[in-house]
Amino acid sequence: MQMNRIAMPLLVIMGMSEIDWQRQSPCYLIGDPGILGMPVWIKRDDLLHPQISGNKFRKLKYPLQALKHDAVRHGQRPCLVTMGGIWSNHLHATAYAAALSGYASVGLVRGVEGMTSATLEDCRAQGMQIHFVDRMTYRTLRDDPAVWPGLAGLAPDTEAVWLPEGGSAPSALHGVAELIDELPFIPDSIVVACGTAATMAGLLAGLKGRGRVTGIAVLNNAEYLHGEVARLLCQAGYPAYTNYQLHTNYHHGGYAKVTPSLRQFCDAFTVQSGVPVEPVYTGKALYALRELVHAGYFGVNERVLMLHTGGLQGGRGSLVTLS
Ligand SMILES: Cc1ncc(COP(=O)(O)O)c(C=O)c1O
């Protein structure tokens, strides 16, 4: 039974007990091996919240909670400043989280003035100020948010709070790690889509060395994510867990690129399983999961769990490439 979450303040929702989470984000077996080639468990984090779905909810929990305490101390209104592309799930979730928390928000978007998308329209409707930055500035912002000149011009009663791309602050890992305690068992393998790899690092933190994580990179040239996993675990105060494999050859041409076969697979999976998936993140990870099953990657008795990281809104902008 779903609770009426819309009417509850965001931090109250985020502070719910483990039992409540199990109801909000069910974990069950897709017993029909048909489309994936073996029975696979699925954890439906896409159902966590109507707008702040999946890993965004987990990743924002502790950064927002910390803010609540800081804001009480400083007496200033927080203004969440973050970055993303025009279809970014993170921008979308941050805009809603800020509005629900009574905070201001600014989105620094890779692009040029005049660009728009359904995601940006939703963000603006939640009060997020959108500013476009060129590619070079965007890249620099990843390391140094202070390069954005508008930072100094924010309203004096607001305190700018920087959230990195994808919400992948080290403290984001704590929220993801909690997910492991909601599972009915420790899976032998958890399959997850990787963008910044913070979600994978959070899963490793929660697993504490048990089982393994199979990460599917959704962008090309993603070998550097090994370094990111190590960095994030270290900065969040966890041991340097290495019980994971990162697969870098299932990106279908690059970030947000979608081949016809991937699109067909996502549609067929949705029809057969009743689970909606988009082709940018979870769809790519599921596609890879099926390929890995066929390649004999998983043991016969292995209990495999797919983490549905939500982000269905971002699928509105996925491009189809021909190949
Ligand atoms: C829906 C969805 N799934 C998975 C990911 C990948 O998460 P991470 O960046 O933590 O690897 C993202 C991006 O942040 C996302 O929006």
Q: Which domains does the chain have, with CATH numbers?
A: 10-54+169-320 (3.40.50.1100), 57-167 (3.40.50.1100)
What single letter denotes the amino acid at residue 148? W
Provide residues with CB under 6 Å of ligand 1: 54-55, 89-90, 166, 168, 193-199, 281, 309-311
Shortest-distance atom of ligand 1 to CA 192: 4
Shortest-distance atom of ligand 1 to CA 198: 10
Q: What confidence score (pLDDT) does residue 17 get?
A: 63
Q: What confidence score (pLDDT) does residue 66 get?
A: 85
Helix axes 198-207, 54-74, angle to 10 degrees: 90
Q: What confidence score (pLDDT) does residue 3 get?
A: 39
Nearest CA to ligand 1 atom 1: 311
Measure 281 CA to ligand 1 centroid, in angstroms.
7
Burial of 279 (0-12, 13-18, 19+ CB in 10 A): buried
Q: What confidence score (pLDDT) does residue 231 get?
A: 98
The residue ranges of the chain whose pLDDT is under 70 are 1-9, 11-13, 15-22, 70-74, 319-323
Please say whether the beta carbons of 41 and 304 come within 8 A: yes
Q: What confidence score (pLDDT) does residue 2 get?
A: 40
CA 231 to each of CA 67, 68, 198, 224: distance values in angstroms, whole numbers, following the listed order:
23, 26, 10, 11
Average pLDDT in the chain: 90
pTM of the model: 0.94
Helix axes 118-125, 89-101, angle to 10 degrees: 10
Encode pLDDT of 225-271 as tens digits: 999 999 999 999 999 999 999 999 999 999 999 999 999 999 999 99
Shortest-distance atom of ligand 1 to CA 281: 3
